[in-house]
């Protein structure tokens, strides 16, 4: 160390004075630090390796604990403008030699206080971190490599304290004072912090957060976290014996290839233990074999997140929480770290899994095991119960789609095999002399009915005799799916110890506490005062939110109206097109271009909906996190559902219903004639709309979920290799510590699982609501979900930062939305069959006007002879001005011919068809709703054996808690030499 003469003299003078003051302090028997200094004292011993390298002379091999703790807590106000010097001083104190570390000399520059990077925090541990950063690059790189080899980026620099959370900020950020106060308050709450620079970007700094044992116990008790305290003891009865025999017989059968190998999955101990809310007063009840592993990594991260959400960064009731600091760019990110890499050089079968992330990748996220069941217990342990329930629901939904897809394929194959033999298709293809009225009045010519032969055959694929059966089947299927999911969810909540937690009251959102902290009321359950939102304020905010929802829905309807106008314009253009192929297939051209334009509008409006829903939800200030998620999810569903299905509803129920007749067409703005249905029906337009939107939307969603993160992560790795962050090139990604690897991954969606659930719920709507028009919808949904499960798994494990583990007992408001979709599906399918398809007109003709009238039931094709001629009316084209066309043309309607006494009036057949349609809707709805209610009554929400197990477990838990408390008290009395008895004291 080179020190000038004057500086050395001043330094020795300061050292002498410190020697005198410290020797006086050492005479005191005990030190009582303040509450805010306790975390500093505890954490100042977390970097012995770095401190040894930092000091110019080695420490004494056996320092006294009091002096060591004192030496680490002397300096309390060093800044970046301070010269830090390590010095080893010897001086006698009685009969012992004391080693003292003079940590720093404080010197102000120009007499001013400047907030710079290393001056923002004033605790011992931060100065130790800063001293590590102030070392020479070569020495620091050597230490970094050694520490990474020891801890793999999962621990503090001492290799002992596990990293529970990572905070990321930029050194160039001006929010230094907020960050300083926030980190100081975090230490006051008992957390330990350690800073680390990024190896890929000079401007990035990581703050590693560790929760010590006492802090974990304190907040685990406050959060009522359930922890294991005794192994489960199972009892046997006739039912379990019978099941045992069944398992023995089942073992003789071939092995199910969809099941995972039990040897490949770890034995999760907590799944085989009774649990109870953690209590420090009854800590002896719990099974604590190792303090480091008693709280799982996900539980530790959840506790730290709870503290981060409720720690202040400024004076003021609303100035708290990591979310606000992320919003004002004080911190760039906050996330729990992954448990290491997800790949290994060695095969998992021979060397085992490196960590749970590696195990999840090999047994869940790889595409090669797409047919395997999901390891739900492992998913729940790593990502938390909320994400575990999502994948459990997604797997259950995918499995239930298998029978629906099979029935839909059978209905489609039935239409395919009978397509050429269909009487309606034959009549259309053979109608070479049937002249149809022109599609426009000026430039369009009449056309023959046989020109739409292909169109009629394709219509028969989706509009045949199996349509009604499939619609009833899917309505019943939706009910069975939801009822059995309730049972599955009950089993999961029991296995994951969520039954009692479900009854506990949820904590308030920090934003709600900050907003309404001045108005309080007594909680009727806990009896404690809590922030309260007045009814007038809640009502006014709700009215503004509802107004915003209606405005966005009106915007969607405006977009649909624009698509309708577009279809009317291009219909005339295509019908009068010079290209013969387009002119002949103008229906396909009109429907195809309309669907593509509508799809682009849907995708462009989705971004707007998300932002508007987020703003409206924050405006309401929901009380708890679940209320916020439910409110946001409901808005997103309403926006997306209306956006996605409004054009579909138009085609299903309005297209061709108000077109009028030749000579008296209804026109939009007195300019464009309203669109008509094809002579074979409007169902093919609905089918085309659903098929295109469902297919392309699934492709787009899969790309945005996986392709976009892959591209972003690839770009981040490319910048790292080129040294784009300002540091030297990093050749091997394995050299990076875990926090740097996680920082280069993409964050999870800001709205959690809302986007994941929303995609599946909208798909469920497509699968059930208009399934009568598109029987292949369940098959497309099944194929998409098989990909979706592995895609989401791969995304969660490899492409996203580890999300914050959260608890949940069900899928939230989505279950109610699914039930609403199930009810809507019955109504819409009834209207689709009765109004959109030609099933009812064909049925009325076959038994009232066809050749089978009054002759009993014959083959369907025989009864439908002459149906097309009966469904087409006649128009006299001579009534049009300047018309040089043939005398008569045909159009789709039930009207009297021009030579009748009352020309162009509705015929009796029209009223028969209308009455049959209304009757079918009433009968169909009552029949299906009756079957749904009966099935829901037959299937209980919770299995009886599960109810018995829950009651027995509650009884055994009370007995074991009593025995554990009695045993503990007896041991205490025996230890104290008192007389003890076997009865309760």
Residues 106-120 have pLDDT tens digits of 333 333 333 333 333
Q: Are 804 and 302 in contact (CB under 8 A)?
A: yes
What are residue 83's DSSP bridge partners? 105
Position 166 scores a pLDDT of: 94
* Domain match, 450 and 592 both: yes
Mean pLDDT of 701-722: 70
Position 252 scores a pLDDT of: 65
Minimal CA–CA distance to 583: which of 442, 408, 444? 444
Higher pLDDT, 718 or 553: 553
Higher pLDDT, 705 or 467: 467
In the predicted structure, residue 42 carries a pLDDT above the cut 50 = no
Query: Exposed, middle or buried by CB within 10 Å (0-12, 13-18, 19+), for 889?
Result: buried
Residues 6+ apart with CB under 8 A from 20: none
Mean pLDDT of the chain: 75
Percent of the chain whose pLDDT exceeds 70? 73
Mean pLDDT of 11-17: 40
Q: Give the DSSP letter string of 481-502.
A: HHHHHHHHHHHHHHHTT-HHHH
* Domain match, 902 and 798 both: no
Q: How confident is the model at residue 410 (pLDDT cuts 50, 70, 90)?
A: very high
Query: Exposed, middle or buried by CB within 10 Å (0-12, 13-18, 19+), for 722?
Result: exposed
**Calpha distance 335→307 (Å, rounded):** 13
| HEC sequence for 217-283 | HHHHHHCCCEEEEEECCCCCCHHHHHHHHHHHHHHHCCCCCCCCCHHHCCCCHHHHEEEEECCCCCH
* Domain match, 970 and 920 both: no
**Calpha distance 971→327 (Å, rounded):** 53
**Domain presence at residue 68:** no
Q: Which helix (H) or strand (E) holds 661?
A: strand 660-661
Query: Exposed, middle or buried by CB within 10 Å (0-12, 13-18, 19+), for 411?
Result: buried
Higher pLDDT, 954 or 164: 164
* Domain match, 858 and 778 both: no
Mean pLDDT of 54-66: 34
| CA 890 from centre of chain | 54
Higher pLDDT, 704 or 562: 562
Mean pLDDT of 157-161: 88
State how many domains the chain has. 4
In the predicted structure, residue 918 carries a pLDDT above the cut 90 = yes
Tens-digit pLDDT profile for residues 827-860: 998 998 888 888 888 889 888 888 877 666 556 6
**Calpha distance 31→29 (Å, rounded):** 7
In the predicted structure, residue 394 carries a pLDDT above the cut 90 = yes
Token pair of 166 as six digits: 């990572």
**Domain presence at residue 841:** no
**Domain presence at residue 771:** yes
* Domain match, 570 and 666 both: yes
Residues 6+ apart with CB under 8 A from 933: none
* Packing angle of the helix pair 814-831, 466-495 (nearest 10 deg): 170
Q: In Å, what is the CA distance from 188 to each residue of 194, 366, 477?
A: 15, 44, 56
**Calpha distance 22→71 (Å, rounded):** 9
Position 977 scores a pLDDT of: 67
In the predicted structure, residue 484 carries a pLDDT above the cut 80 = yes
**Calpha distance 940→875 (Å, rounded):** 60
Residues in the chain: 985
* Packing angle of the helix pair 683-702, 586-620 (nearest 10 deg): 50
In the predicted structure, residue 45 carries a pLDDT above the cut 50 = no
Tens-digit pLDDT profile for residues 322-347: 888 888 889 999 999 998 888 888 88
Domain range for 470: 359-718+741-833
* Region of poorest pLDDT, from 106-120, 238-252, 648-662, 751-765: 106-120
Q: Residue 117 has what DSSP assignment? A: G
In the predicted structure, residue 299 carries a pLDDT above the cut 70 = yes
Which of 945-949's residues contact partners 24+ apart within 8 Å by CB, and which partners?
A: 945/239, 946/490, 946/491, 946/494, 949/494
Q: How confident is the model at residue 132 (pLDDT cuts 50, 70, 90)?
A: very low
* Domain match, 765 and 807 both: yes
In the predicted structure, residue 127 carries a pLDDT above the cut 70 = no
Mean pLDDT of 427-449: 80
Q: How confident is the model at residue 526 (pLDDT cuts 50, 70, 90)?
A: low
Angle of CA points 302, 308, 313, to nearest 5°: 175
* Domain match, 323 and 422 both: no
Q: How confident is the model at residue 262 (pLDDT cuts 50, 70, 90)?
A: low
**Domain presence at residue 615:** yes
Q: Are 200 and 162 in contact (CB under 8 A)?
A: no
Position 967 scores a pLDDT of: 77
* Region of poorest pLDDT, from 136-145, 430-439, 583-592, 696-705: 136-145
Tens-digit pLDDT profile for residues 176-196: 899 999 999 999 999 999 998
In the predicted structure, residue 414 carries a pLDDT above the cut 60 = yes
Position 93 scores a pLDDT of: 36
Position 817 scores a pLDDT of: 93
Position 272 scores a pLDDT of: 65
**Domain presence at residue 42:** no
Token pair of 259 as six digits: 């099941």
Q: Residue 438 has what DSSP assignment? A: P
**Domain presence at residue 401:** yes
* Region of poorest pLDDT, from 468-477, 488-497, 965-974: 965-974
Position 84 scores a pLDDT of: 35
Token pair of 971 as six digits: 């041991």
Q: How confident is the model at residue 95 (pLDDT cuts 50, 70, 90)?
A: very low
Position 39 scores a pLDDT of: 33
* Domain match, 711 and 803 both: yes
| CA 330 from centre of chain | 26
Position 86 scores a pLDDT of: 35
* Domain match, 279 and 405 both: no
Q: Which helix (H) or strand (E) holds 210?
A: strand 204-210
- Report the relative pairing of strands 529-531 and 520-522 from DSSP bridges: antiparallel
Q: Are 661 and 652 in contact (CB under 8 A)?
A: no
Position 494 scores a pLDDT of: 81
**Calpha distance 167→173 (Å, rounded):** 14
**Domain presence at residue 543:** yes
* Packing angle of the helix pair 625-653, 535-575 (nearest 10 deg): 30
Higher pLDDT, 316 or 532: 532
Position 530 scores a pLDDT of: 79
Task: Kindly give the residue spans of alpha helices, DSSP state H, lying in 832-943.
Answer: 839-844, 860-863, 867-871, 908-938
Query: Exposed, middle or buried by CB within 10 Å (0-12, 13-18, 19+), for 849?
Result: middle
* Region of poorest pLDDT, from 336-345, 934-943, 969-978: 969-978
Position 247 scores a pLDDT of: 59
**Domain presence at residue 922:** yes
Minimal CA–CA distance to 670: which of 660, 657, 679, 678? 660
* Domain match, 289 and 431 both: no
In the predicted structure, residue 898 carries a pLDDT above the cut 60 = yes
* Domain match, 815 and 959 both: no
* Domain match, 576 and 706 both: yes
In the predicted structure, residue 24 carries a pLDDT above the cut 50 = no
Q: Are 804 and 383 in contact (CB under 8 A)?
A: no
Collapsing DSSP states into helix, strand and coil, what is residue 14? Answer: helix
Position 392 scores a pLDDT of: 94
């Amino acid at each position: 160390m080179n020190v000038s003469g004057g500086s050395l003299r001043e330094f020795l003078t300061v050292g002498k004075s410190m020697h005198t003051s410290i020797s006086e302090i050492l005479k005191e028997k005990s030190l009582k630090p303040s509450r805010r200094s306790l975390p500093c004292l505890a954490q100042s011993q977390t970097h012995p390796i770095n401190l040894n390298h930092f000091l110019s002379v080695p420490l004494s091999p056996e320092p006294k604990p009091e002096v060591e703790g004192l030496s680490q807590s002397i300096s309390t106000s060093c800044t970046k403008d301070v010269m830090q010097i390590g010095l080893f001083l010897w001086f006698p104190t009685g009969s012992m030699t004391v080693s003292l570390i003079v940590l720093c000399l404080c010197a102000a520059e120009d007499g001013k206080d400047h907030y710079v990077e290393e001056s923002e925090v004033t605790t011992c541990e931060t100065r130790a971190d800063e001293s590590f950063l102030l070392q020479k690059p070569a020495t620091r790189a050597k230490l970094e490599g050694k520490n990474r080899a020891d801890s793999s980026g999962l621990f503090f620099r001492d290799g002992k304290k596990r990293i529970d959370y990572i905070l990321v900020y930029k050194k160039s950020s001006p929010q230094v004072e907020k960050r300083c106060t926030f980190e100081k308050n975090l230490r006051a709450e008992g957390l330990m912090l350690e800073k680390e620079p990024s190896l890929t970007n000079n401007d990035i700094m990581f703050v590693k957060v560790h929760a010590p044992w006492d802090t974990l116990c304190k907040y685990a008790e406050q959060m009522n976290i359930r922890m294991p305290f005794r192994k489960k003891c199972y009892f046997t009865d006739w039912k379990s014996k019978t099941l045992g025999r069944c398992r023995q017989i089942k073992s003789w059968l071939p092995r199910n290839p969809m099941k995972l190998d039990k040897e490949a999955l770890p034995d999760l101990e907590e799944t085989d233990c009774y649990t109870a809310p953690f209590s420090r007063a009854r800590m002896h009840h719990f099974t604590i074999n190792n303090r480091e592993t008693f709280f799982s990594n996900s539980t530790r991260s959840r506790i730290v997140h709870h503290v981060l959400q409720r720690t202040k960064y400024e004076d003021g009731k609303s100035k708290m929480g990591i979310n606000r600091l992320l919003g004002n760019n004080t911190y760039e990110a906050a996330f729990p770290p992954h448990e290491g890499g997800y790949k290994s050089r060695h095969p998992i079968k021979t060397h085992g899994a490196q960590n749970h992330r590696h195990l999840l990748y090999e047994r869940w996220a790889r595409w090669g095991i797409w047919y395997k069941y999901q390891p739900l217990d492992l998913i729940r342990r790593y990502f938390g119960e909320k994400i575990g329930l999502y994948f459990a629901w997604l797997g259950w939904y995918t499995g239930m789609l298998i029978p629906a897809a099979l029935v839909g394929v059978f209905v489609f194959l039935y239409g395919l095999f009978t397509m050429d033999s269909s009487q309606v298709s034959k009549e259309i293809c053979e109608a070479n002399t049937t002249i149809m009225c022109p599609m426009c009045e000026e430039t369009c010519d009449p056309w023959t009915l046989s020109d739409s032969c292909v169109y009629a055959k394709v219509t028969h694929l989706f509009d045949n005799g199996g349509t009604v059966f499939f619609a009833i089947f899917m309505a019943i299927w939706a009910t069975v799916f939801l009822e059995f999911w309730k049972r599955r969810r009950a089993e999961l909540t029991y296995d994951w110890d969520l039954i009692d937690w479900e009854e506990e009251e949820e904590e308030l959102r920090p934003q709600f506490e900050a907003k309404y902290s001045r108005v309080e009321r007594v909680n009727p359950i806990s009896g404690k005062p809590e922030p309260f939102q007045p009814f007038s304020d809640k009502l006014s905010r709700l009215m503004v939110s509802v107004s915003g929802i209606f405005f966005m829905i009106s915007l969607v309807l405006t977009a649909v109206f624009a698509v309708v106008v577009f279809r009317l314009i291009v219909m005339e253009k295509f019908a009068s097109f010079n290209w013969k192929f387009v002119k002949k297939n103008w229906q396909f051209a009109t429907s195809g271009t309309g669907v593509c334009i509508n799809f682009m509008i849907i995708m462009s409006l989705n971004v707007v909906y998300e932002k508007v829903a987020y703003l409206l939800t924050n405006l309401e200030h929901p009380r708890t996190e679940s209320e916020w998620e439910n409110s946001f999810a409901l808005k997103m569903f309403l926006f997306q559902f209306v956006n996605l299905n409004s054009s579909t509803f138009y085609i299903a129920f309005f297209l061709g219903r108000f077109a009028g007749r030749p000579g008296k067409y209804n026109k939009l703005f007195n300019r464009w004639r309203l669109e008509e249905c094809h002579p074979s029906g409007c169902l093919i337009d609905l089918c085309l709309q659903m098929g295109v939107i469902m297919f392309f939307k699934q492709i787009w969603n899969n790309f945005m979920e996986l392709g976009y993160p892959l591209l972003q992560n690839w770009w981040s790795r490319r910048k790292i290799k080129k040294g784009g962050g300002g540091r030297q090139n990093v050749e091997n990604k394995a050299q990076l510590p875990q926090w740097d690897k996680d920082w280069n991954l993409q964050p999870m969606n800001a709205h959690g699982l809302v986007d994941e659930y929303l995609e599946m719920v909208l798909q469920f709507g497509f699968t059930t609501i208009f399934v009568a028009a598109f029987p292949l919808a369940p098959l497309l949904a099944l194929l998409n979900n098989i990909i979706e499960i592995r895609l989401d798994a791969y995304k969660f494990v490899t492409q996203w930062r580890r999300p914050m583990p959260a608890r949940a007992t069900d899928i939230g408001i989505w279950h109610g939305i699914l039930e609403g979709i199930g009810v809507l599906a019955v109504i819409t399918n009834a209207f689709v069959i009765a109004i959109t398809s030609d099933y009812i007109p064909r049925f009325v003709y076959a038994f009232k006007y066809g050749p089978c009238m009054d002759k009993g039931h014959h083959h369907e094709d025989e009864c439908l002879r002459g149906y097309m001629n009966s469904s087409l009316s006649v128009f006299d084209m001579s009534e049009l001005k300047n018309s040089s066309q043939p005398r008569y043309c045909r159009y789709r309607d039930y009207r009297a011919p021009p030579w009748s006494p009352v020309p162009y009036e509705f015929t009796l057949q029209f009223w028969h068809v209308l009455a049959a349609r209304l009757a079918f809707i009433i009968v169909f709805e009552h029949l299906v709703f009756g079957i749904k209610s009966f099935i829901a009554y037959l299937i209980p929400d919770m299995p009886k054996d599960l109810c018995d197990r829950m009651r027995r477990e509650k009884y055994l838990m009370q007995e074991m808690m009593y025995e554990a408390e009695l045993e503990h008290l007896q041991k205490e009395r025996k230890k104290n030499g008192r007389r003890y008895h076997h009865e309760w004291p």
